Amino acid sequence: MKKTIMFLIIAILFIPLAVTDAKGNEVAQLQQEMTALRSQFSEMKMSYETRITQLETKIEDLQKTYSIRAEKPQIAPPAPPQSTSLGRYFQSFNPDVSVIGDFTYHATDTKNTEFRNQFQMRQTELAFSASVDPYARGDFFFHVEQEDGNWHIGLCEGYMTLLTLPIDGLQAKVGKFKVEFGKANKLHLHNLPWVDYPNMITDYFGEEGMSEPGVSASYLIPNPWNKYIELTGQVVNNRNGVSFAGAEGTSLVYLGHLKCFHDINEASTIELGTSLATGPNDGGLGRFGSDMTTLEGVDLTYKWRPLQQGLYKSVTFQNELLFSQHNRPAFDDGTDIIDAKNINSWAGYSSLEYQFAKRWSVFGRYDFSEFPLTSSSWENAYSTGITFAQSEYCFWRVQFKHTDRNFDKDDNAVWLQCDFGLGPHRKHDY
């Protein structure tokens, strides 16, 4: 027992010593490991610092060489105001809608004229334009006018243009449109360079020219000079009451137009056009047999606008001639037999417009016109005027016109015109 106690005492005394010795070894080992780790860490730190420096140098070099690529992320994200604007823009799936007012004061010494010495809201045009689908676009023009004290709205034009036909250079149009005869007939009232249409148009096609339902095809004729040569063919209802059958017409009128355009130099251009229209003048009703009216037209337009001073100076010299062959057989009007007659008549105008300042231009026009049903009556007219363009969307115009007739009293007229538009409708052909 004594031995056992002694052994236990010795064991108890020596165990801590052994433990202390083991701990000492472990600490030393740990210290060594720490030192090694510190050394490794320092090496790694140095290595990474060197590599980071190298990478920074490389990035700087790359930024210098490919600066656009480095900056692209800065440019790419759209700024908030842009998205606001685009949001508004994408709503434009609606058609472009415009309203154009044509206001006049008309003073004349001809006593039986409507709105003589009076103000008149002569016409209000409502225009709608948009793409129909990827293949076509649509255009509608409604006119609101006062007649006999009442306001009327009518369709001036409403057509679809087929833009992607399989034949290269071919376009087609269906609907109601102003026919392709010369230059002035295609213009709307607010787009004329004068207050009124030339006498040639009103005497042979009516107050606002000839606009009928029908179909139209135009083709750009390929040529070695790469010039703009356009051939247009149209077939429309025979409802024009001045040169053709009128409201009772059941037949068709056929039209053709050739337009050749040439740049003389960068400031000057010349356009030559020829037109043809033919159709029965009795609508095929048999009242006069089935007689035909044939109209031929020639138009020549010269334009000058120096590019650098183009905002301030320009000249337009526009001329048209029309020849009419109106064949009419003999007929019984109830009291007498009216002899058969071939009436050959003609009309034309020449207009010169000179823009002398950004907002100001002056013009003069000479008209001569016989009539489709008589070549013995004629009228000469001399017009002159001045236009002030308040802005791109509003102009004021004063025009004086003296008309000399061989069948009636001469007429002197003065117009004050104000034309103003709302909306985007301001794009017009050259």
Partner 1 sequence: MRKVIILLTLLLGLSGIAYGKDVINVLTTTEDLKSITEIIGGAKVKVDSLARGYQDPHFVAAKPSFMMKAKNADLFMVIGLELEIGYEELIINGSRNQRIRIGQQGYLDVSEGVNLLEVPTTTKIDRSMGDVHPMGNPHYWLDPENVKMVAYNIAKRLSELSPDNAPYFQENLASFDKKIASKMIEWKEKIAPFKGEKIAVYHRSWPYFADRFGLLVACELEPKPGIPPSPGHLKNVIDIMKRDNVKIILMEVFYDEKPAQFVAAQTGAKVIIVPNSVGGTKEAKDYIGLIDTIVDKLVSGLRSSGKE
Contacts with partner 1 by CB under 8 A lie at 64-68, 71-72, 75-76, 79, 81-82, 84-86, 88-89, 134, 137, 161, 163-164, 168-171, 220, 226-228, 230, 259, 261-263, 266, 269, 271, 305, 307-312, 358-359, 391-393, 424, 426-427, 429-430
How near is the Cβ of 165 to partner 1 at its closest, in Å?
A: 8
Question: Which residues, 6 or more positions from 252, have their beta carbon under 8 angstroms from its beta carbon?
Answer: 214, 235, 236, 237, 238, 279
Q: Which one, 18 or 76, has the nearer CB to partner 1? A: 76
Q: Which one, 137 or 176, has the nearer CB to partner 1? A: 137
How near is the Cβ of 427 to partner 1 at its closest, in Å?
A: 6
Residue recorded with tokens 């009232």: 189
Beta strand pairing call for 292-304 and 337-338: unpaired
How near is the Cβ of 77 to partner 1 at its closest, in Å?
A: 10
230, two tokens: 């356009």
Q: Which one, 125 or 208, has the nearer CB to partner 1? A: 125
CB count in 10 Å sphere of residue 88: 9
Q: Which of 314, 321, 235 is nearest to 279 (CA)?
A: 235
Q: Which one, 308 or 335, has the nearer CB to partner 1? A: 308
Write the DSSP assignment of 92-152 as a string of letters: TTSPEEEEEEEEEEEEES-TT-TTTTEEEEEEEEEEEEEEEETTEEEEEEEEEEEETTEEE
Q: Which one, 292 or 418, has the nearer CB to partner 1? A: 418
Q: Which one, 175 or 329, has the nearer CB to partner 1? A: 175
How near is the Cβ of 123 to partner 1 at its closest, in Å?
A: 21
Q: Which one, 273 or 280, has the nearer CB to partner 1? A: 273
How near is the Cβ of 191 to partner 1 at its closest, in Å?
A: 14
How near is the Cβ of 187 to partner 1 at its closest, in Å?
A: 15
Coil, strand or helix: which one is 194? coil
Beta strand pairing call for 394-405 and 411-422: antiparallel
Residue 359 exposed, middle or buried by CB count within 10 Å (0-12, 13-18, 19+): middle
Question: Which residues, 6 or more positions from 292, have their beta carbon under 8 angstroms from its beta carbon?
Answer: 278, 279, 280, 281, 325, 327
How near is the Cβ of 183 to partner 1 at its closest, in Å?
A: 13
Question: Which residues, 6 or more positions from 200, have their beta carbon under 8 angstroms from its beta carbon?
Answer: 184, 320, 322, 347, 348, 349, 367, 369
How near is the Cβ of 306 to partner 1 at its closest, in Å?
A: 9
| Strand residue runs (E) in 335-373 | 337-338, 341-355, 360-371
For residues 8 and 377, what is the distance between their CA atoms, to the nearest angstrom?
A: 155
Q: Which one, 154 or 424, has the nearer CB to partner 1? A: 424
Question: Which residues, 6 or more positions from 364, have their beta carbon under 8 angstroms from its beta carbon?
Answer: 351, 352, 382, 383, 384, 385
How near is the Cβ of 81 to partner 1 at its closest, in Å?
A: 4
Q: Which one, 131 or 374, has the nearer CB to partner 1? A: 131
Q: Which one, 359 or 405, has the nearer CB to partner 1? A: 359
Question: What are the distances in angstroms from CA 324 to CA 141, 301, 336, 342?
Answer: 29, 21, 26, 10
How near is the Cβ of 400 to partner 1 at its closest, in Å?
A: 27
